[in-house]
Structure 1
Amino acid sequence: MGHRIQEIIQVLEQWAPPAYQESYDNATLICGDRNAKVTGVISTLDCTEKVVDEAIELGANLIIAHHPIVFKGLKSLTGKNYVERTILKAIKNDVSIYAIHTNLDHVATGVNKRICDQLGLLNTRILQPKRQALSKLVFFVPPSHKDQVLQAVFEAGAGQIGEYKDCSFQVEGSGTFTPSDRANPHLGTRGVPHVESEIRIEVILPHYLQGKVLSAMRSSHPYEEVAYYLQPLENENQEVGAGMIAELPTPLSENDFLDALKEKMNLSVIKHTAFINKPIQRVAVCGGAGIFLLSEAKRAKADIFITADVKYHEFFDAEDQLVLCDIGHYESEIFTKDLIAEFLSIKFPNIALYLSKVVTNPTSYR
């Protein structure tokens, strides 16, 4: 039995949860049948008509693209532009298109980590960690069922703090309750006040897993009515956020670093601010349009910030505090297709997996 498209999507969304995408984004299954069996997968930065043609030729019925071919929705499908033509061709040929975009930008093993790896950088960490992405769940359970309920919420995704899993805080106490005449109490008697030894348990969980964790807690808990509460946290989630900051093993001169940058990222040209005559060691990166992180890069004491889509006047904002580089949107993210393919090859070693050979860069240099 082969894998179905939904299985591929499920694994991708465990890696880069859709809840981490920006509000404007459309990281999802753009078109296709989730229940179709996978005949082959193509990884690409962009999905265009030529990429769909490539999929058809290879017999692959799933395209995984970083950039969504549909951003703002479609009101008609008449083939009047490249977006509609691409979707029509995919649908007619039973090719599914899935986009994994800013959610992959925002995870610690995603787009920006791949850029850092490409450049040989060490000590990688999120440049702008995401706030309000975590909640604290507090619940109460009798000692006899503590391990059972804890195991259930851990398996549902709670209790992960950085490199540590199964994290919780526990304290013993007493719970009081009086079951109503309609209750079906696990402990105590209807209409009779009851005191029960209980353990208060606190765990951290991502917002997007609240439903799953609560369901696991309820289904494993012995009580008919579980006493619990959820509290949103202001804590930064160090594993989720925008951009990345890292260090070179040894400092390089500005010229030497840019030469290495061109070689390792396969660049023909780099647009950058003036040198500030300072060795380069701490490097900030953001694949795609990342100028919104310039202040964060300065705060992190980066010597250089590598991104794309920088406007003319935005270069002035570097203010000689770092070297600001625009290496091109396509160029900054082209290795994302390798990242996706490598991830899937580990998870699904028996699936036919292809790197798109189509150059989708809409710009050229002379």
Structure 2
Amino acid sequence: MKVQDIITHIEELCPLAYAEDFDNVGLLVGDRNQQTNGVLISLDTLENVVDEAIEKNCNMIVSFHPIIFSGLKKITGKTYVERVVQKAIKNDIAIYAMHTALDNSWNGVSDRICDELGLTQKSILIPQKATIKKLITFAPKASAEKVRNALFAVGAGSIGNYDHCSFNTEGLGSFRGNEASNPTIGIKGETHFEEEVQLGITFARHLEGKIINTLQQVHPYEEVAYEVTTLENTNQHIGMGMIGHFEKPINEMHFMTLLKTKMKVPVVRHSHLLGKMIQKVAVLGGSGSFAIEAAKRAGVDAYVTADLKYHDFYKAEGQLILADIGHYESEQYTKNLLFEYLTKKIPNFAFILSAENTNPIKYS
């Protein structure tokens, strides 16, 4: 098993194309062609996590948070980041992080919070823009089915709960090849008319390279005519945060108790209670103050996130309850999510769930 084999499976769950622009994701340390004999899965990559990897004979760490976030100008061991990188390189340990790519995944961080709280009827809180593309191409009538099915096979035409979605229009195409051409149909130097099918098919942004490559491989023409456009349509399965519903409304104190119990927190920082029942809830793992207005527009009864500042709580404005459960606590189940996913994908490989608690915040 190579490092790249592990990466391929992770990026099926959370393609890096959907990570936020500010983020630093992917393989941060190591060689993707390196053989790996074990993978340690953690929320963070700290020195004690690298020590754990060494002790448990793992030469790859899959970490939610990237240890290298901004540029490193020196690696002298002066900071904890530099010491982690030094130790990983010295012990030939690869480090991979996906961070906001998993935040934006349908089966990612927020989805897991919903599951822990028992929320159903899920939807994305802030759909990511420009994630849907459309391919228009033209194929000879006799070859259209082959081209269409090849594109379906690599993921084109999948929309929510449906796949093999396309629109097909028959028409008459024309072309003339010059002296350097080698036309599959027709004679170079002569204008040729061919019954063609115009194929329209949408696809997820991260698949563009694979889809265009497949099109060029299976299409019979020497020169393939196609157009790719980015759509403004809202993608309902990629984006930050998630909205879910309790089967039955619960009162506010029951809700606070549920948060403390399910999310294993000693205390919840929250805005004023409103004396109303809680049923529709928005959640977003990690720092989520940027999504307060989106939660208000969605008409939720409560918004669960972390890292809210003093003035953020004023933004509730009596419309919803803002609940801060802590950064680590909101993301604590992420390593379990990754562990469960990877062990299902590669059941006979040594994936180990880190036993280290990397929460830097303590309560007394």
TM-score (norm 2): 0.98
Partner amino acid, structure 1, of 2:155: G
Alignment partner of 2:352 out of 351, 354, 362: 354
Shift of 1:171: 1.0
Deviations 1:217-255 (A, max 9, x none): 011000011111111111111110010000011110000
Correspondence for 1:300: 298
Alignment partner of 2:284 out of 283, 286, 296: 286
**What is the CA–CA distance in structure 1 between the aligned matches of 2:180 and 2:358, rounded to whole Å?**
65
Correspondence for 2:89: 91
Shift of 1:207: 2.2
Shift of 1:156: 2.4
Correspondence for 2:204: 206
Correspondence for 2:262: 264
Shift of 1:174: 0.6
**What is the CA–CA distance in structure 1 between the aligned matches of 2:277 and 2:246, rounded to whole Å?**
11
Equivalent pairs counted in the alignment come to 364
**What is the CA–CA distance in structure 2 between the aligned matches of 1:5 and 1:280, rounded to whole Å?**
45
**What is the CA–CA distance in structure 2 between the aligned matches of 1:269 and 1:39, rounded to whole Å?**
40
Shift of 1:157: 2.2
**What is the CA–CA distance in structure 2 between the aligned matches of 1:94 and 1:179, rounded to whole Å?**
55
Which consecutive residues of structure 2, in runs of 5 or more, have no partner in the other structure? none
Partner amino acid, structure 2, of 1:325: A
Deviations 1:306-332 (A, max 9, x none): 000101001100101000011100000
Which consecutive residues of structure 1, in runs of 5 or more, have no partner in the other structure? none
Alignment partner of 2:342 out of 332, 341, 344: 344
Correspondence for 1:24: 22
Correspondence for 2:144: 146
**What is the CA–CA distance in structure 1 between the aligned matches of 2:258 and 2:205, rounded to whole Å?**
40
Correspondence for 1:230: 228
SS at match of 1:236: coil
Correspondence for 2:191: 193
Q: Percent identity?
A: 48
Correspondence for 2:4: 6
SS at match of 1:286: strand
Partner amino acid, structure 2, of 1:108: W
**What is the CA–CA distance in structure 2 between the aligned matches of 1:122 and 1:67, rounded to whole Å?**
27
Alignment partner of 1:112 out of 110, 113, 122: 110
**What is the CA–CA distance in structure 2 between the aligned matches of 1:47 and 1:167, rounded to whole Å?**
42
**What is the CA–CA distance in structure 2 between the aligned matches of 1:250 and 1:122, rounded to whole Å?**
11
Partner amino acid, structure 1, of 2:19: Q
Deviations 1:317-359 (A, max 9, x none): 0101000011100000010000000000100111112111111
Alignment partner of 1:249 out of 243, 247, 255: 247
SS at match of 1:342: helix
CA RMSD of aligned residues (A): 0.9
Q: Does 1:135 align with 2:117?
A: no
Shift of 1:92: 0.7
Q: Does 1:77 align with 2:75?
A: yes
Correspondence for 1:58: 56
Shift of 1:143: 1.6
**What is the CA–CA distance in structure 1 between the aligned matches of 2:22 and 2:228, rounded to whole Å?**
27
SS at match of 1:361: coil
Deviations 1:234-293 (A, max 9, x none): 111111001000001111000001101110111111000010011000010000011111
**What is the CA–CA distance in structure 1 between the aligned matches of 2:169 and 2:317, rounded to whole Å?**
53
**What is the CA–CA distance in structure 1 between the aligned matches of 2:83 and 2:176, rounded to whole Å?**
65
**What is the CA–CA distance in structure 2 between the aligned matches of 1:161 and 1:134, rounded to whole Å?**
10
Correspondence for 2:156: 158
SS at match of 1:183: coil
